[in-house]
Amino acid sequence: MNMFTRTLATFILWIVYGSLPGKAQQAAPPTYLLKSAVLAQSKAAINRHDTAKERALSELVAIANRTLEHGLYAVTYKSKTPPSGDKHNYMSVAPYWWPDSTKANGLPYIRRDGVTNPERYAVKDDEYYNSLCRDVNILGLAWYFTGNVRYANKAAGLLRTWFLDTVTYMAPHLNYGQAIPGITEGRGIGIIDTHMVTALIDGVQLLKNSPSLSAADYKGIQDWYRQFLNWMRNSPIGKEEAEEKNNHGTWYDVQAVAIALFTEQPALAKEILTTQTNQRINSQLETDGQQPHELARTLSWNYSCFNLEAFFELAMLGENVSVDLWHYVSLDKKSLRNAFAWMLPFAAGNSTWQYQQIKDMHTNGYESLAMAAEKYYPDLGFSALWKKHPRHPGYYFQLTGWGD
């Protein structure tokens, strides 16, 4: 590349990304699920014009540019009002509960596991929260890799609207999550609605040193999550979810640990991982790796993957406080390694899934976990899996080393 071409390329980068190579924001503050060191390595590779990383960045930027066009999200935008009479309270409807056709008024609702009632979508607080988490994460990454302040500005606006604005903020509790008409106005199981908090928190961390998110706003979001974590740990609904024996309990731990880290309580995060999470491995997994609580579901493959994803997130979070869940083995030989290995031949097509699965069985979620698992369990052998499903890491994994 001659001097003129290099100068032109540098100018184009400046126009597209809003900063000169090497002159973007400082190194990212600590992220918790994603690893700052991996992000820094990807950023350095981009500055060296690594072709694969530059291609991944282009995909990220394209998605981030579309994200800029999204609107704001708030619990106060819903048309329905929670039983409290306050739209600042989050609310959602249980997905697998339907009107009882034998009753004139349909009450109380009855359960149809794995079949979603469209009434779930009438209240959009859940949809808005998930969109908030995705958008803040994507925009935070785009800001980190490009230094373009447009991404930070948009993300900061989303965060202020959801957590801080007196007109639109969400109250820090889920008292009305996953309500069941005729049975309950809210229940512990509703806490799983906010399981994507790890994506949001990492996005906030990436924005921490941006000019768009003030120190006061950052502290305000931390304070909000301190209140939310206190509610999770001490309210009747929060305690109810903490006692769940399946994926709900695992995702409860994910949220509690991530929020503890974000709110500068590493000792609490470590305590949860070494007591609560270890016990979940003991109680939820069989020695050979089966997950009986998830295998009992009508979407047994989906829920086995979903629960394993939560355990993997906990293992990633544990690295922040020197807790190694990747290689933890209980006294009766239960482990995440065995849980992952038990599913491997089914994903690779060497065994046929024998459990109930009322929807098509897709392996892409397991494949995403496998890309991370290769680092920790290389002895398991992944060639059959990648032969059946060729390994094509997407842009997100290329840049962050996690998910896809």
Share of the chain above pLDDT 70, in %: 93
Which pLDDT does position 104 carry in this prediction?
96
Residue 15 pLDDT class (50, 70, 90 cuts): very low
Task: Work out the burial of residue 355: count CB atoms within 10 Å of its CB; fewer than 13 is exposed, 13-18 middle, 19 or more buried.
Answer: middle
Share of the chain above pLDDT 90, in %: 92
Question: Hey, which residues does 299 pair with through a beta bridge?
Answer: 357
Q: What is the pLDDT of residues 209-249, one digit of tens each?
A: 899 999 999 999 999 999 999 999 999 999 999 999 999 99
Please determine, for residue 11, whether its predicted confidence score (pLDDT) is greater than 90. no
Residue 27 pLDDT class (50, 70, 90 cuts): low
**More confident call, 14 vs 344:** 344
Q: Is 39 helix (H, G, I), strand (E, B) or coil?
A: helix
Q: What is the pLDDT of residues 272-292, one digit of tens each?
A: 999 999 999 999 999 999 999
Q: What is the pLDDT of residues 294-320, one digit of tens each?
A: 999 999 999 999 999 999 999 999 999
**Degrees (nearest 5) of the Cα angle 236, 242, 243?**
95
Task: Give which of 85, 88, 69 is closest to 77, Cα–Cα.
Answer: 88
Phi, psi (5° rounding) for residue 397?
-65, -40
Which pLDDT does position 13 carry in this prediction?
37
Task: Give which of 192, 200, 278 is closest to 238, Cα–Cα.
Answer: 192
For the chain, the average pLDDT equals 93
Give the Cα separation of 248 and 306 in Å (integer): 10
Q: Is 209 helix (H, G, I), strand (E, B) or coil?
A: coil
Please determine, for residue 195, whether its predicted confidence score (pLDDT) is greater than 50. yes
Residue 96 pLDDT class (50, 70, 90 cuts): very high
Q: Residue 94 is encoded by which pair of tokens?
A: 């249980």
Give the Cα separation of 347 and 371 in Å (integer): 13
Residue 14 pLDDT class (50, 70, 90 cuts): very low
Please determine, for residue 90, whether its predicted confidence score (pLDDT) is greater than 90. yes
Which pLDDT does position 404 carry in this prediction?
80
> Cβ–Cβ contacts within 10 Å for residue 291, how many?
25
Q: What value does the mean pLDDT take over residues 256-267?
A: 98
| C-alpha pair distances (Å), 353 with each of 111, 172, 347 | 25, 41, 9
- Tell me the CA end-to-end span of the chain in Å, nearest whole number: 33
Cα–chain center distance at 326: 19
Which pLDDT does position 402 carry in this prediction?
94
Task: Give which of 19, 66, 67, 62 is closest to 43, Cα–Cα.
Answer: 19
Q: Are 207 and 156 in contact (CB under 8 A)?
A: yes
Q: Are 398 and 38 in contact (CB under 8 A)?
A: no
Give the Cα separation of 269 and 317 in Å (integer): 9
Please determine, for residue 5, whether its predicted confidence score (pLDDT) is greater than 80. no
Q: Residue 85 is encoded by which pair of tokens?
A: 């009479």
Question: Hey, which residues does 348 pair with through a beta bridge?
Answer: none
> Cβ–Cβ contacts within 10 Å for residue 283, how many?
13
Q: Supply the Cα-derived Rg of the chain in whole angstroms.
A: 22
Q: How do the domains of the chain map onto residue ranges? A: 1-30+68-243
Which pLDDT does position 29 carry in this prediction?
77
Residue 4 pLDDT class (50, 70, 90 cuts): very low
In 3-state terms the chain splits into helix, strand, coil percentages (rounded to 5) of 60, 5, 40
Q: Are strands 176-179 and 91-93 parallel, antiparallel or unpaired?
A: parallel
Task: Work out the burial of residue 285: count CB atoms within 10 Å of its CB; fewer than 13 is exposed, 13-18 middle, 19 or more buried.
Answer: buried
Give the Cα separation of 377 and 371 in Å (integer): 10
Cα–chain center distance at 355: 27
Cis omega before residue 30 (within 30°)?
no
**Which CATH number describes the domain made up of 1-30+68-243?**
1.50.10.100
